[in-house]
Amino acid sequence: MLFNSLEFICLFLPITILGFFGLGRFGFRQAAIVWLVFTSFIFYGYWNANYVILIVCSMIFNYVIGNFIAKQYQFNHEQSKFNNNHFLFIGISVNVALLAYFKYANFFVKNLNLLAGTELTLGTIILPLGISFFTFQQIGYLVDSHKGKTIEYNFLDYCLFVIFFPQLIAGPIVHHEEVLPQFANKNITNFNFANIAIGLTIFSLGLFKKVILADGVSTYATPIFNASASGTLISSFEAWCGVLAYTFQLYFDFSGYSDMAIGIARIFGIILPENFDSPYKANSIIDFWRRWHITLSRFLKDYLYIPLGGNRKGEVRRYGNLMITMLLGGLWHGASWMFVIWGGLHGFYLIVNHLYAAIKKTLHLQSRDKSIWEIACYRIITFLSIMVAWIFFRAESLSAAVSILKSMLSFDLHNLTPNNLWGSPANINLIFCVLWLVLSSIIVWFAPNTQQILWRYKPTLSTKNNEIKNIFLWKPNLLWAISLGLIFFIAISKILEAKPSEFLYFQF
Backbone angles phi, psi at 240, to 5 degrees: -60, -45
At how many degrees (to 10) do helices 50-73 and 29-45 cross?
A: 130
CB atoms within 10 A of CB 405: 17
Q: Are 295 and 171 in contact (CB under 8 A)?
A: yes
Residue of 175, 293, 333, 346 with catalytic role: 333
Segment holding 316, helix H or strand E: helix 315-332
Backbone angles phi, psi at 312, to 5 degrees: -90, -10
Q: Single out the residue of 148, 134, 153, 259 nearest to residue 207, CA to CA.
A: 259
Hey, is 292 helix, strand or coil? strand
Backbone angles phi, psi at 484, to 5 degrees: -70, -35
Segment holding 417, helix H or strand E: none
Q: How far apart are CA 490 and CA 90, in angstroms?
A: 50
Counting DSSP H helices and E strands in the chain, the numbers are 22, 0
Exposed e or buried b for every residue in 426-454, given b needs 16+ CB within 10 A? bebebeebbebbeebeebbeeebbbbbbb
146 in catalytic set? no
Q: How far apart are CA 407 and CA 121, in angstroms?
A: 37
Instruction: State the burial class of residue 292 (Cβ atoms within 10 Å of its Cβ: 0-12, 13-18, 19+).
Output: buried
Q: How far apart are CA 144 and CA 174, in angstroms?
A: 12
Q: How far apart are CA 492 and CA 486, in angstroms?
A: 10
Beta bridge partners of 292: 276
CB atoms within 10 A of CB 275: 28
CB under 8 A, 24+ apart: contacts of 144-149:
144/175, 144/176, 144/177, 145/66, 145/67, 145/69, 145/70, 145/73, 145/88, 146/69, 146/73, 146/84, 146/85, 146/88, 147/73, 148/70, 148/73, 148/74, 149/177
Which residues belong to the active site? 333
